[in-house]
Amino acid sequence: MPKKTKRTTKTTQPSAKAKRTSRAKKNGAAGPKLEQLARSVVEMALRDEDPTVAIPTRALSNVRYNEKTRYVEMGGGKQSRSFFNFGQAKRFMQTLLVASKCKELAEMGKTASIRQIYYMCKHTIKGTNEKTFDDQSESDPIIEDLEVAVNALREELHVFASNRGNLVGPITLVDDGNTLDCAAMGSAGYPVPSIVEADVIQFKKCSAKFILHVEKDTVWRRFHEDRFWETHQCILSHGGGQPARGMRRLLRRMHEELNLPLFVLLDNDPWGYYIYSVIKHGSINLAYESRRMAVPDAKFIGVSAFDYDRCGLSDDVKLDLDASDIKRSKQILAYPWFKKKRAWAREIKKMISNGFKMEVEALISKDLSYLTEEYVPMKLKDKKQWLD
Amino acid sequence: MPKKTKRTTKTTQPSAKAKRTSRAKKNGAAGPKLEQLARSVVEMALRDEDPTVAIPTRALSNVRYNEKTRYVEMGGGKQSRSFFNFGQAKRFMQTLLVASKCKELAEMGKTASIRQIYYMCKHTIKGTNEKTFDDQSESDPIIEDLEVAVNALREELHVFASNRGNLVGPITLVDDGNTLDCAAMGSAGYPVPSIVEADVIQFKKCSAKFILHVEKDTVWRRFHEDRFWETHQCILSHGGGQPARGMRRLLRRMHEELNLPLFVLLDNDPWGYYIYSVIKHGSINLAYESRRMAVPDAKFIGVSAFDYDRCGLSDDVKLDLDASDIKRSKQILAYPWFKKKRAWAREIKKMISNGFKMEVEALISKDLSYLTEEYVPMKLKDKKQWLD
């Protein structure tokens, strides 16, 4: 069991005035940054220069691991996008178009999904047959470009993704003005929205001692039904697979603002290792978000490749490891943020030598409540079994 | 706007005693039926007969449309599964194995996911290399077989699926003992669990006049953000695509027990038509569930193929219709429950002659709030635009 730590709990429900202020802040969040982008383009044009925007490069080549912060971070590489460049003109136009729609959203105080942004921006350019966007696959990366270009979070641009993931536990929070006791929200718990910034969600009260994050909703339900969060006084969350931005950001906020240790329980396969990597250090594609989404102190408590022997599991838990699993595991092992960790090298090599993977759910082949009553309590108690 | 109707609202939060009774009922739900199955097998064996279970056939060939109830129903076809039949022995064993695990779940008062059932049932048969199940694709259909064989709902068998879908609106319900005001559950609303039977969820208070069910969560969020449910005093739900059993069952319960009309807003494509067909009449695969999940009075309010002209939409909403879309549309049109409806024949033929499909979200290319402030209010007002 993790050491009990004193927690600061951010308190009080926002007053009507605070709500208005928060709403104003919400509306204006990225507005000035977007305006600044537009102004600089206009000024270049007025100076008879080629209007250009500089976009930081989002690619593996421009990602580095910061050993001090333990974040996967973006490097300084930039690409420029110019109006009078034949190969860049369309993307230049698209960038400014998406920016202008985000500005509109901010002014209206409304949000839109990435698909809605696509439809808002799509039109046929007057006097031509040329469309601004042919497909959503063109507008999605532009939104990410814009995030890094103006250094605004997607949420500040008023763009949301599908929400995914739920939690349950002794925490009371205010979401969109509604006070919610997450220990009393029914059988599916509290659904974590896509936008969880402080102007939408405030923490009011929390008596949890730690967070247990599991990979899948069906595993989460097993823990919820066994009232694990009550017995162990913790927040129990799942991300429905790889956690979406909303869930990652909320895990980070609870870890940081409520001082809650984070434990992660995932399948013993390359996908599980990768999910852990993303939760802990950040992802390559969203490296510019690591500083607000990663939880470098997160601990991996299982399922470990060593658990097969350690826990006396039967062959029924084994799933075949194929060539692509092995290749992917080796890639993960080669990440700069895994490379120096001896315990992780041992773990991944053990899985490869096992020749099989294991799902969290497989452990119930021992007994339906083995996971909640024996396995996880044992893991939480024995720090030596944690992987960092 | 639909006519305001008087509603019966099931009331009062369950007392501790009621909760215990409910728990007992929950535990016992399918127990006796499973016992009966086992007993009949034992009796056959004691009579020196070949132990056999009869499983109603779940296939298109055994499905019929009941014009009176307007349900897609199962016919009387049955397959027998015998112990001393070389081709049936394994499935016979699997059926009884899954049944015994469901019985255990009922006795413990616990539930398991279909994947968890697979792991609970999987083992190597003593003295052989033969596994009871090689893959979850073998155990999933056995669960469905069992549902029809013992005439118990999956929920009564204590088996759950992933939960999917949310709702918001002026309804207060009790879920697993927690009283929840669904008008005040934050930005993601109330997450509909997989099991929504009356022993888990009770309706307490409801002032909604109707239900608007939309296809996707991003569309739902647009309506939620514009407070559509407040302005129109309705329950606003989405199923995250084709609604899962939990959502379908809850729609049916709200429609039936609270007397709420159900309106459905889906994409104008074969998939949207099919989702409507399933919500209204039931699905082919789960035909045995239609009588408790279908809502034959549901109305389709859009998006219709005629809306392109009717609403003066631009070409930006058009998505190419491909050969498989056309083929699928014709299949749907040939369903006995669509065949006799002239308006649906016109609708589907119009989409094919349009040569394009349209997503609900595409309508915001007109204006971000066009959907919530103009389109849907117009559709609700004009009954002639409803498709039955």
B221 chain-A contacts, CB cut-off 8 A = 111, 113, 160
- What are the tens digits of pLDDT across the range B20-78? 334 434 445 688 999 999 999 999 999 999 999 999 988 888 999 999 999 999 999 99
Closest C-alpha among B176, B180, B241 to residue B205: B180
Question: Where are any strands of DSSP class E within A42-154?
Answer: 52-56, 63-66, 71-74, 78-82, 112-113
| Residue A15 predicted with pLDDT over 90 | no
- What are the tens digits of pLDDT across the range A104-136? 999 998 999 999 999 999 999 889 989 999 999
Q: Which of B119, B188, B364 sits opposite A365 (nearest CB)?
A: B119
Distance from CA of B254 to the nearest CA of A (A): 18
C-beta atoms of B162 and A217 within 8 A: yes
The stretch B299-323 carries a mean pLDDT of: 95
Rounded Cα distance, B38 and B117, in Å: 18
C-beta atoms of B222 and A116 within 8 A: yes
pLDDT > 70: percent of chain A: 93
Q: Which of A108, A119, A178 sits opposite B364 (nearest CB)?
A: A119
Mutation target vs B (from A116, A202, A225; most B CBs, 10 A cutoff): A116
pLDDT > 90: percent of chain A: 78
pLDDT > 90: percent of chain B: 78
| Residue B301 predicted with pLDDT over 80 | yes
Q: Which of A119, A188, A195 sits opposite B362 (nearest CB)?
A: A119
The two tokens of residue B343 are 């308006």
**Catalytic (active-site) positions of B:** 119
pLDDT classification of B5: cutoffs 50, 70, 90: very low
Distance from CA of B251 to the nearest CA of A (A): 17
C-beta atoms of A188 and B185 within 8 A: no
The two tokens of residue B104 are 């255990």
Which residue in chain B has the smallest CA separation from A130? B316
C-beta atoms of B186 and A166 within 8 A: no
Q: Is the domain defined by B208-385 classed in CATH 3.30.460.10?
A: no
C-beta atoms of B120 and A368 within 8 A: yes
B226 chain-A contacts, CB cut-off 8 A = 110
A119, A273, A274, A308: which one is catalytic?
Answer: A119
Residue B199 confidence (pLDDT): 87
Rounded Cα distance, A165 and A162, in Å: 10
The stretch A145-165 carries a mean pLDDT of: 87
The stretch B246-259 carries a mean pLDDT of: 97
The stretch B148-173 carries a mean pLDDT of: 90
* A·B CB contacts under 8 A: 148
B114 contacts A217 by C-beta, under 8 angstroms: no
- What are the tens digits of pLDDT across the range A156-201? 899 988 788 999 999 999 999 999 999 999 999 999 999 999 989 9
pLDDT classification of B279: cutoffs 50, 70, 90: very high
How many Cα neighbours within 13 Å face the side chain of A133?
27
Question: pTM score, two decimals?
Answer: 0.88
C-beta atoms of B368 and A112 within 8 A: yes
The two tokens of residue B366 are 């007109």
C-beta atoms of B195 and A187 within 8 A: yes
> So where are chain A's domains?
30-157, 166-171+207-385
Q: State whether ipTM is beyond 0.90.
A: no
Q: Which of B124, B175, B218 sits opposite A116 (nearest CB)?
A: B218
Residue A34 confidence (pLDDT): 94
Distance from CA of A173 to the nearest CA of B (A): 10
The stretch A82-101 carries a mean pLDDT of: 95
| Residue B18 predicted with pLDDT over 70 | no
Cβ–Cβ contacts within 10 Å for residue B12, how many? 9
C-beta atoms of B317 and A119 within 8 A: yes
Q: Which of B104, B184, B315 sits opposite A178 (nearest CB)?
A: B184
Closest C-alpha among A261, A343, A293, A341 to residue A69: A293
Rounded Cα distance, A237 and A215, in Å: 8
Least confident range of A283-297, B213-227, B342-356: A283-297
A124 chain-B contacts, CB cut-off 8 A = 315-316
Rounded Cα distance, B120 and B105, in Å: 11
Mutation target vs A (from B22, B110, B187; most A CBs, 10 A cutoff): B187
Mutation target vs B (from A107, A218, A228; most B CBs, 10 A cutoff): A218
| Alpha-carbon separation of residue B292 from B200, B249, B381 (angstroms) | 16, 7, 29
B22 chain-A contacts, CB cut-off 8 A = none
Mutation target vs B (from A267, A368, A373; most B CBs, 10 A cutoff): A368
Distance from CA of B218 to the nearest CA of A (A): 6
The two tokens of residue B348 are 């589907």
**At how many degrees (to 10) do helices B114-121 and A217-225 cross?**
80
Rounded Cα distance, B75 and B77, in Å: 6
Concatenate the DSSP letters of all residues of B158-227 into one string: TEE-----EEESSEEEEETTEEEETTSS-TT-EEP-S---TTTEEEEEE--SEEEEES-HHHHHHHHHTT
| Residue A27 predicted with pLDDT over 70 | no
| Residue B114 predicted with pLDDT over 80 | yes
A115 chain-B contacts, CB cut-off 8 A = 218, 359, 361
Class of domain A166-171+207-385: alpha beta
The stretch B265-285 carries a mean pLDDT of: 95
Which residues are registered as beta bridge partners of A51? none
B112 contacts B158 by C-beta, under 8 angstroms: yes
Mutation target vs B (from A163, A194, A373, A375; most B CBs, 10 A cutoff): A163
Phi, psi (rounded to 5 degrees) for A330 = -70, -35
C-beta atoms of B187 and A180 within 8 A: no
Q: Which of B108, B119, B225 sits opposite A364 (nearest CB)?
A: B119
Q: If 0-12 CB within 10 Å is exposed, 13-18 middle and 19+ buried, where does residue B382 land?
A: exposed
A314 chain-B contacts, CB cut-off 8 A = 123
The two tokens of residue B290 are 């239609």
Residue B339 confidence (pLDDT): 86
C-beta atoms of B186 and A193 within 8 A: yes
C-beta atoms of B108 and A368 within 8 A: yes
Of 3.40.50.720, 1.10.10.10, 3.40.640.10, 3.10.20.90, the CATH number of A30-157 is 1.10.10.10
How many Cα neighbours within 13 Å face the side chain of B138?
17
Distance from CA of A175 to the nearest CA of B (A): 5
C-beta atoms of A364 and B116 within 8 A: yes
Average pLDDT, chain B: 90
Residue A340 confidence (pLDDT): 85
C-beta atoms of A115 and B314 within 8 A: no
| Residue B198 predicted with pLDDT over 70 | yes
For tokens 């989409």, name the residue.
B351
A217 chain-B contacts, CB cut-off 8 A = 162-163
C-beta atoms of B186 and A176 within 8 A: yes
End-to-end Cα distance, chain B: 16
